[in-house]
């Protein structure tokens, strides 16, 4: 039985998909192109009533939403992949802390920035929502940067799925290249994750070169 990931380029599907790959799980991808509004079709809304990607189909047919829940569940199903520390250990607690910091703190700030018009009924207020979201995004990344001392990973010398999640979030900052320089420890993590073979293999799927888009300004693997 296979897993299924409903995904769209450069979205929250990235971290769970990286975990599936890292675990060697058999899975299929179903693209739900959020730029063309495919997330709002009745068929997809039956899977996620909020009309958001990703959604994850488990081998028994159960479908879940929420990217952090997916990361946790995949890690639990494939313990030999070592995606997260053992349940009940202090390292697991630290991993949960930063996974949830990403999901509950950084992810919503990014959504407020990219979908600012949804967060006010007053069109005049949109730039203000955007600016406040960006300030929060920056503050969150600074907190992360501090937490990455000594690093290089969020759990110190142990790589985990949380690093994938934080990498995914870091990619969403509109000034990604500047972020890498402004937050040197986070920049180190981003560059190191970008060089992982699984990321290298899937990079073009999620981040095809798109002229003028901020995502196209970072080539990554060369460390630039």
The one-character DSSP state at 85 is P
Tell me: does residue 72 bind ligand GSH (CB under 6 A): no
Tell me: does residue 39 bind ligand GSH (CB under 6 A): yes
Closer residue to ligand GSH, CB minimum distance, 103 or 180: 103
Closer residue to ligand GSH, CB minimum distance, 83 or 151: 83
Residue 216, CB-side half-sphere exposure with 13 Å CA sphere: 6
Tell me: does residue 11 bind ligand GSH (CB under 6 A): yes
Q: Give the helix/strand (H/E) hosting 27.
A: strand 27-31
Locate 2 and state its tokens: 């296979």
Separation CA 114–CA 54 (nearest Å): 17
Tell me: does residue 82 bind ligand GSH (CB under 6 A): no
Identify each DSSP E strand in 67-174 by its residue range: none
Across the beta sheet with 3-7, the strand order is: 27-31, 3-7, 55-57, 63-65
Closest separation between CB of residue 197 and ligand GSH, Å? 24
Which stretches of 4-41 are DSSP H helices?
14-23
Tell me: does residue 17 bind ligand GSH (CB under 6 A): no
Q: List the x/- string, 89-128, binding to ligand GSH by CB under 6 A.
A: --------------x---x---x-----------------
Closest CA to 60 of 39, 81, 38, 77: 77
How many of the other CB atoms lie within 10 Å of CB of 209? 9
Closest separation between CB of residue 62 and ligand GSH, Å? 16
Closer residue to ligand GSH, CB minimum distance, 54 or 220: 54
Separation CA 47–CA 218 (nearest Å): 33
Q: Hey, which residues does 4 pair with through a beta bridge?
A: 28, 57
Choosing from 67, 95, 166, 194, the residue that interacts with ligand GSH (CB under 6 A) is 67
Choosing from 7, 20, 21, 34, the residue that interacts with ligand GSH (CB under 6 A) is 34
Closer residue to ligand GSH, CB minimum distance, 52 or 151: 52
Closer residue to ligand GSH, CB minimum distance, 51 or 214: 51
Choosing from 21, 66, 145, 163, the residue that interacts with ligand GSH (CB under 6 A) is 66
Q: Which residues bind ligand GSH (CB under 6 A)?
A: 11-12, 34, 39, 51-54, 65-68, 103, 107, 111
């Amino acid at each position: 039985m296979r897993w299924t990931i409903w995904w769209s380029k450069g979205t929250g599907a990235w971290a769970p998909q990286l975990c599936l790959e890292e675990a060697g799980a058999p899975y299929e991808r179903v693209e739900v192109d959020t730029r063309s509004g495919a997330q709002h079709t009745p068929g997809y809304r039956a899977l996620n009533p909020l009309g958001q990607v990703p959604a994850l189909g488990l081998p028994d047919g159960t479908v879940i939403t929420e990217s952090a829940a997916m990361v946790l569940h995949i890690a639990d199903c494939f313990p030999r992949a070592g995606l997260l520390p053992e349940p009940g250990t202090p390292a697991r607690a630290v991993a949960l802390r930063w996974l949830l910091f990403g999901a509950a703190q950084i992810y919503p700030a990014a959504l407020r920035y990219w979908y600012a018009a949804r967060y006010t009924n007053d069109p005049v207020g949109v730039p203000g929502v955007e600016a406040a979201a960006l300030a929060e995004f920056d503050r969150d990344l600074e907190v992360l940067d501090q937490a990455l001392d000594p690093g290089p990973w969020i759990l110190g010398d142990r790589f985990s799925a949380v690093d994938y999640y934080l990498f995914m979030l870091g990619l969403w900052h509109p000034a990604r290249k500047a972020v890498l320089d402004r937050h040197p420890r986070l920049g180190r993590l981003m560059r190191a994750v970008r060089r992982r073979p699984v990321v290298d293999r899937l990079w073009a799927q999620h981040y095809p070169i798109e002229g003028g888009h901020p995502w196209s300004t970072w080539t990554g693997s060369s460390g630039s």
